[in-house]
Amino acid sequence: MNIIEEPSRKTPIMAETDVLIVGGGPAGLSASIAAAREGVNTMLIERYGCFGGVITQAMIGTIAWYRYAKTVDAGGIGLEFEKLAKDMNGSINVFGNIKNKEMIKTLEKEGLMANGEPTYEILDTEMFKCIADKLVQDANITPILHCSAVDVIMEDQTIIGVITESKSGRQAILAKRVIDATGDADIAYHSGVPFRKSPKNELMEVTVNYGCSGINIGKFLMYVYLNPGSIGDWGDTSGKEESSFSTYLVEPFNKAKKAGEIPKDVDIESFWTNYTDAGEITSFNGIHMTDIDPTDVWDLTKAEIEGRKRVMWAIEALKKYTPGFKKARLRTIGASVGTRESRKIMGEYEITEHDVRNEGHFEDSIGICPEFIDGYGIAIMPTTGRYFQVPYGIIVPQKVENLLVVGRCVAGDKISHAATRQMCCCTVTGQGAGVAAAISYKDNVSCRQVNLSKVQTSLKKQGVRIE
């Protein structure tokens, strides 16, 4: 690649703060709220025009779709997202209008309903933009939207701030502690933190989500009742969830492929997440594309454009081959492609497949996550109450001080990533980092040397389950 040499410049300082969080998705929101509750000045910057990350940008409202009647939850801010959404009429009862008694009985037997109520609700991904605003404002966090962190400011091996680009120009933000919640470990990368990234043909797929309107919901639900999907249809299970109900839908797309209406090398399947009284299904998770590197702008551009083309193929297949979809039409397409995997930092500890499959326990636990593994052809659901502890070491990067890294890019091996990338786990690592960053600053010690007993005590006060 050819290069140019930029002239040196003086960069104005736009703000200074105690704790700076870069990235406003589930992990970044949780980190900023947790830090602010510890009484430190907290700033949250986000490159898009709203907070919420994959919830609001990629239309992923299924923050709790893993939950069964016996699932042991992490508690903390992740559950607060759900509670506030319900209070603000910003969640949807996914099974609320099902009248078929046999289907209700099946769902209750499998633990997806209890006493006639679902074990989880779907977040309204549009309303969550407002919910996130309220969470940020109620916590007295300083928000900055439409602002991208493009470089870091270092003193030796210690991060002391970031360089941003926005409509206001190139500006600096200084911070005593920085939390990388970018999803791609962008801040860690610029800081020189060691990381690993699989070749793009081995990375998990990216997805363009879409919604439909004009659906006869009654006809569609009867079709689902007569042709139910199961967890075992789309992944290798541990056995206990093999026949458990899933909204997995592939038949119409296979028929379209057979008829030559969808290219045979195109992977289209769908998990529909919720429906409304207005004849809408607000999110289909089904346009999956491989060989995409989420840290490569050319690949992202390709995925967005190709993904939208495939959405139209999918809708035509639904209209032709799915009962209730005869008059269906496009409702929405996610504002951004949904990504699952890119950089993974090398941390003080690397969580492993053995840890997440065998209820790993750690003295430096900052929370728990249910035994929920979804990825690389594996589908294990927390139907029996099994869970693993999340160690602080996976968010502490090697070599760089006063930086914590949260969300899907925490340290770990391939299969553990299928667990730690989940939104429920991202909120756990985010909340743990927010508390740890705040306490380390107040105690004038590095994040690496923070008193973990204090961190765990504060997390418990914030409603997090540690053991």
pLDDT attached to residue 463: 98
Residues 314 and 376 placed together within one structural domain of the fold: no
Predicted confidence (pLDDT) at residue 174 exceeds the cutoff of 70: yes
Instruction: Please indicate, yes or no, if residue 3 is contained in any of the structural domains.
Output: no
Three-state SS letters, 364-392: CEEEEEECCEEECCEEECCCCCCEEEEEH
Residues 23 and 154 placed together within one structural domain of the fold: yes
The domain boundary residue, chosen from 307, 333, 359: 333
- At how many degrees (to 10) do helices 297-321 and 251-258 cross? 90
Cut 0.85: pTM above it: yes
Rounded distance, CA 270 to CA 251, Å? 10
Instruction: Please indicate, yes or no, if residue 307 is contained in any of the structural domains.
Output: yes
Predicted confidence (pLDDT) at residue 107 exceeds the cutoff of 90: no
The domain boundary residue, chosen from 333, 358, 384: 333
Q: Note the pLDDT tens digit of each residue in 374-395.
A: 999 999 999 999 999 999 999 9
Residues 54 and 162 placed together within one structural domain of the fold: yes
Judged by average pLDDT, the poorest of 128-142, 271-285, 302-316 is: 271-285
The domain boundary residue, chosen from 333, 351, 386: 333
Instruction: Please indicate, yes or no, if residue 6 is contained in any of the structural domains.
Output: no
Rounded distance, CA 233 to CA 246, Å? 9
Instruction: Please indicate, yes or no, if residue 274 is contained in any of the structural domains.
Output: yes
Residues 171 and 215 placed together within one structural domain of the fold: no
Instruction: Please indicate, yes or no, if residue 316 is contained in any of the structural domains.
Output: yes
Residues 233 and 173 placed together within one structural domain of the fold: no
Predicted confidence (pLDDT) at residue 371 exceeds the cutoff of 90: yes
CA dihedral over 354, 357, 358, 364, signed as positive or negative: positive
User: Is residue 85 a contact partner of residue 93, using CB atoms and an 8 Å limit?
Assistant: no
Judged by average pLDDT, the poorest of 112-116, 190-194, 432-436 is: 112-116
Phi-psi label, residue 161: left if phi above 0, alpha if psi -120 to 50, beta otherwise: left
302 vs 222, higher pLDDT: 302
pLDDT attached to residue 375: 94
What's the mean pLDDT in 334-351?
Answer: 98
All residues at 6 or more sequence positions from 457 whose CB lies less than 8 Å from its CB, including other chains: none
User: Is residue 320 a contact partner of residue 363, using CB atoms and an 8 Å limit?
Assistant: no
The domain that holds 426 is classified in CATH as: 3.50.50.60
pLDDT attached to residue 168: 98
Q: Note the pLDDT tens digit of each residue in 11-31.
A: 999 999 999 999 999 999 999
Rounded distance, CA 94 to CA 410, Å? 31
Q: Which domain holds residue 270?
A: 206-333
Predicted confidence (pLDDT) at residue 437 exceeds the cutoff of 70: yes
Judged by average pLDDT, the poorest of 105-109, 153-157, 451-455 is: 105-109
Q: Note the pLDDT tens digit of each residue in 228-249.
A: 888 888 888 888 888 888 889 9
Instruction: Please indicate, yes or no, if residue 298 is contained in any of the structural domains.
Output: yes
Residues 239 and 281 placed together within one structural domain of the fold: yes
Residues 36 and 133 placed together within one structural domain of the fold: yes
Residue 97's pLDDT band (boundaries 50, 70, 90)? low
Instruction: Please indicate, yes or no, if residue 227 is contained in any of the structural domains.
Output: yes
Residues 253 and 307 placed together within one structural domain of the fold: yes
**What is the residue-averaged pLDDT of the chain?**
96
**β-strands 169-180, 158-166: how paired?**
antiparallel
Predicted confidence (pLDDT) at residue 277 exceeds the cutoff of 90: no
Residues 221 and 187 placed together within one structural domain of the fold: no
Residues 192 and 210 placed together within one structural domain of the fold: no
Predicted confidence (pLDDT) at residue 102 exceeds the cutoff of 90: no
Of the candidates 395, 402, 399, the one whose C-alpha atom is nearest the C-alpha of residue 432 is: 395
Residues 264 and 302 placed together within one structural domain of the fold: yes
Share of the chain above pLDDT 90, in %: 85
Q: How many domains does the chain have?
A: 2
Q: Please tell me the total number of residues recorded for the chain in this structure.
A: 467
Predicted confidence (pLDDT) at residue 450 exceeds the cutoff of 70: yes
Judged by average pLDDT, the poorest of 47-61, 148-162, 207-221, 228-242 is: 228-242
Instruction: Please indicate, yes or no, if residue 359 is contained in any of the structural domains.
Output: yes
Q: Note the pLDDT tens digit of each residue in 179-228.
A: 999 999 999 999 999 999 999 999 999 999 999 999 999 899 889 888 88
Residues 241 and 297 placed together within one structural domain of the fold: yes
Rounded distance, CA 146 to CA 295, Å? 19
